[in-house]
Amino acid sequence: MDITELADRILTGDRRALARAITLVESQRADHRAQAGELLEHLSKARRQALRVGLSGTPGVGKSTFIEAFGMLLTGQDLRVAVLAVDPSSARSGGSILGDKTRMERLSREKNAFIRPSPSQTHLGGVARRTREAVALCEAACFDVVLIETVGVGQSETVVAEMSDLFLLLLAPAGGDELQGVKRGIMEMADLILINKADGDLKPAATRTCADYMGALRLLRKRPQDPADFPKAMMVSAVEHEGLADAWSEMQALTDWRKENGHWDANRATQARYWFDQEVRHALLARLNTPEARSEMDRLSGDVAQGRLGPTAAAEQMLAALKTA
Ligand code: GDP
Residues with CB under 6 A from ligand 1: 57, 59-65, 196-197, 199-200, 202, 237-239
Q: How many angstroms is it from 153 CA to the middle of ligand 1?
A: 18
Q: How many angstroms is it from 60 CA to the middle of ligand 1?
A: 6
Residue-level pLDDT at 229? 86
Q: How many angstroms is it from 63 CA to the middle of ligand 1?
A: 7
Whole-angstrom Cα distance, residue 209 to residue 236? 12
What three-state secondary structure class fits 148? Answer: strand
Whole-angstrom Cα distance, residue 29 to residue 34? 9
Residue-level pLDDT at 250? 97
- Which residue puts its alpha carbon closest to atom 27 of ligand 1? 197
Whole-angstrom Cα distance, residue 160 to residue 171? 17
Q: Assess contact for 35 and 128: CB atoms under 8 A.
A: no
Could you report how far apart the first and last alpha carbons of the chain are, in Å? Answer: 32
Handedness of CA 132, 137, 264, 45 (dihedral sign): positive
Q: Assess contact for 43 and 140: CB atoms under 8 A.
A: yes
Cα angle for residues 98, 134, 120 (degrees, 5° grid): 45
- Kindly give the confidence (pLDDT) of every residue in the chain, 325 residues in length, as a single tens digit, with 9 standing for 90 and above: 789 999 999 999 999 999 999 999 988 888 998 999 999 999 999 899 999 999 998 888 999 999 999 999 999 999 999 999 887 665 555 455 565 657 788 999 999 999 988 777 667 777 788 899 999 999 999 999 999 998 866 678 888 999 999 999 999 998 655 555 667 777 888 999 999 999 999 999 999 999 989 988 888 877 777 888 889 999 999 999 999 999 999 999 999 999 999 999 999 999 999 999 998 998 888 889 889 999 999 999 999 999 999 999 999 999 999 887 6
Whole-angstrom Cα distance, residue 118 to residue 103? 14
Whole-angstrom Cα distance, residue 84 to residue 271? 18
What three-state secondary structure class fits 52? Answer: strand
- Which residue puts its alpha carbon closest to atom 20 of ligand 1? 62
What the chain holds in terms of domains, given with CATH numbers, is: 1-46 (1.20.5.170), 48-259 (3.40.50.300), 287-324 (no CATH)
**To test ligand 1's pocket by mutation, which of 58, 65, 97, 153 has the most ligand atoms within 8 angstroms of CB?**
65
DSSP letters along 182-213, please?
A: --HHHHHH-SEEEE---SGGGHHHHHHHHHHH
Residue-level pLDDT at 313? 95
Whole-angstrom Cα distance, residue 98 to residue 104? 10
